[in-house]
Structure 1
Amino acid sequence: MKQEEIIKTFNFNTSAVEIELKDLSFIKELPKLLGMPHKVSFYQLLWLKEGEARHRIDFHEVVINSDQILVIAPGQVCEFDTVSEYEGKMILFTDSFFSVSETDSNFLYTSQILSLVKQNRVVSICPLLIGNLMQLLEEEMKVDTDKFKAGISQSILRIILFDAERSLNANQSIMIQNIASDFCNAVEKNFKKNKRLEYYTNLLAVGEKALSKEIKELTGDTPKVYIDKRVVLEAKRLLAYSSLSVKEIGFVLGFEEPTNFNNFFRKHVHQTPIQFREGTIK
């Protein structure tokens, strides 16, 4: 079944170094594109130098102010604020660009700033630090590609992400544990085909009680509720931004019978899929 989407999906431009720096003014230059629902296949790190922006990400408004950063993950549906007055920069980068070492790979999947569990956290950052780092990255982007460019760019990005993570750790008493992060990543890869908790406890070789304790502490939800919420989010995305029928969406999400999908969606959203879709039409 071909999934026809009615929103634009952007992939990273082919490049020897998969990182790019843009001025946020480019958002206002493309209001009919970036001000409308769209998604990308790479990470977007936004820094506001001045002003306030109200972006809409996966059906939620996210407000970011001066001297704050925000990370948008691959696959998230965004509508950027094209009206408010603000200045800043945006770093675009792929997961393969950042994951040059085992430490980086672990950070990518266990950090709070890039967490699948609590996405789109707005983090305050030292204006002097972020300003200098953005300037350094901007200068590095002007250099012809050589054997040092990727490493220098990665180092600058790493400092920005690590400093943001430090801020989150200073304000959060709960750290993402290995079991919890492994569970969240497993759900992300398998939720369309596997919605039963037993599948994940077997996959991770962990007891249900131990898993429930970790996930409850991290998210406030049980593992089963976490799985269901991920299914609901994908259902909302497909209902709002694809031309698939409700029956086809249910099939994509692993529901063999349309009635089962309808009942599942209504239980969690308190609307039928058709009602939700009609409510998102502008």
Structure 2
Amino acid sequence: MADDQGTTGAIRTYPFDPGASVCGVGMQVGPMGAEGPWHGIGTTRRVHRIEFHVLLFFREGPVRHMVDFTEYEMQAGEILWIRPGQVHRFSRTDPYVGTALSMQPGFLPRATVEATGLYRYDRPPRLRPDAAQLAALEDSLAQLQREYLDTTTLPLSLHTTVLRHSLTALLLRVAHLAATSPESGDTAPQQGTTFTRFRDAVERGFPTNHSVSAYADDLGYSRRTLVRAVRAATGQTPKGFIDRRVILEAKRLLAHTELPVGRIGVAVGFPDAANFSKFFTQHTGTTPAAFRADQN
């Protein structure tokens, strides 16, 4: 825990660095490894969060990579999609060979974000394209990389626009692969503003707000409308959605920091340690202390 994380406090978080991008645009694409634009993160080999999207296109394997308590053994031809806020760790021993694509939140318009499912945290990080899908993805990725590196034939505004279109084309292919994956568990499209506004509000507010009615009021929806939208998008109730987000954050802090259990409870909205322990046990079947001990 502390020796892995390097701190006994919050999990280390890396923001997107536009200064590492060609022309300072809101995306980066390049080789994995020490020469890649994201080498400062990759070479840490420590548990951390990122505030942006990363897609890793593996050309060699196996490579073991942990994302939110699941270790994925990635093979050549597979893709790992790590979304903002997810806790992950690079392998300490396996070499990373392939292409890394990073994207700053806000680089793509909202309609594209919805169409590509950028924040579909319910979808599995690992994607396994078949031969035809992989060939199409490789062509699209190569085109994006050519456009990214071509800084001479267009003014910066048009260069950025072309990059957005090329990135959208690639992400639509990746999103289709994610939606049709046997591990996806999709029940219905998550497009539409009601659920996405609720999801974004929960992401901002879950450390202090666990009330469905409060979210409904803040967003200007009736409770019934919110229930219908969240159930259609995820198969869960709004309360279940909130509780799952709280539990995930609690697990992250228990496993990857040495914060006292009481402080972790406060961090996820439970000023009383006993109430936090009861909530955690109800949802996981184990106490916070036992869960932390199991991670060692």
TM-score interval (norm. to shorter): 0.7 to 0.9
User: For residue 175 of structure 1, what is the amino acid of its counterpart?
Assistant: P
Query: In the alignment, which residue of structure 1 is the partner of 2:235?
Result: 220
Distance, in Å, in 1 between the alignment partners of 2:92 and 2:265 is 34
1:248 & 1:168 partners in 2: Cα distance?
36
- Aligned equivalents of 2:40, 2:271: Cα separation in 1: 41
**8 Å Cα contact 1:123-1:164 kept in structure 2:** no
Establish whether residue 120 from structure 1 lines up as the match of residue 136 from structure 2.
no
1:134 and 1:23 map into 2 onto residues whose CA distance is 12
Structure 2 residue identity aligned to 1:244: L
Matched AA of 1:105: R
Partner of 1:175: 189
How far off is 1:144 after superposition? 4.1
Give me the whole-angstrom Cα distance separating, in 2, the residues matched to 1:32 and 1:117: 24
**1:22 counterpart (17, 30, 46):** 30
Describe the shift of the 1:245–1:257 C-alpha distance in structure 2 as closer, same or farther (beyond 3 A).
Answer: same
User: Could you give the per-residue CA deviations for residues 8-38 of structure 1, whole angstroms, max 9, x where no partner exists?
Assistant: 43222242212212323449x8899454312
Q: Deviations over 1:176-196 (max 9, x none)?
A: 142222222221111111101
Amino acid paired to 2:112: F
Distance (whole Å) between structure 2 residues aligned to residue 237 and residue 82 of structure 1: 20
- Paired with 2:72 and 2:177, the residues of 1 have a C-alpha distance of 19
Conservation of the 8 A alpha-carbon contact between 1:117 and 1:184: no
Corresponding residue for residue 131 of structure 1: 138
Instruction: Say whether residues 1:71 and 2:71 are aligned partners.
Output: no
2:81 partner SS: strand
**Consecutive unaligned residues in structure 2, runs of 5 or more:** 1-6
Residue identity in the other structure for 1:261: F
Judge conservation of contact 2:227–2:237 (CA < 8 Å) in 1. yes
Deviation at 1:164, TM superposition (A): 2.2
1:40 aligned residue (41, 50, 60) = 50
Q: Report whether the alignment pairs 1:236 with 2:251.
A: yes
Distance 2:292 2:145 in 1: 42
TM-score, scaled relative to structure 2: 0.78
Give the TM-score normalised by structure 1.
0.81
Q: 2:110: which partner in 1? A: 105
Question: Given residue 108 of structure 1, which amino acid in structure 2 is its aligned partner?
Answer: V
Give the root-mean-square deviation of aligned CA atoms.
Answer: 3.1
2:281 maps to 1:271: no
Deviations 1:210-244 (A, max 9, x none): 43333234323221111111001111111222332
Cα distance change, pair 82–257 in 1 and its aligned pair in 2 (3 A): closer
What is the alpha-carbon distance in structure 2 between the residues aligned to residue 277 and residue 19 of structure 1? Answer: 36
Gaps of 5+ in 1: none
The 3 A distance-change label for structure 1 pair 133 and 177 is: closer
SS in structure 1 at match of 2:16: coil
Question: 2:4 maps to which residue?
Answer: none
**Whole-angstrom distance in 1 between the partners of 2:135 and 2:77:** 9
Partner Cα separation in structure 1 for residue 18 and residue 125 of structure 2: 26
Contact kept, 8 Å, 2:207 with 2:267, in 1: the verdict is: yes
Write the distance in 2 (CA, Å) between the matches of 1:13 and 1:4. Answer: 25
Residue 271 of structure 1, CA deviation: 2.0
**SS of 1:124 mapped into structure 2:** coil
Amino acid at match of 1:106: A
1:93 aligns to 2:100 (yes or no): no
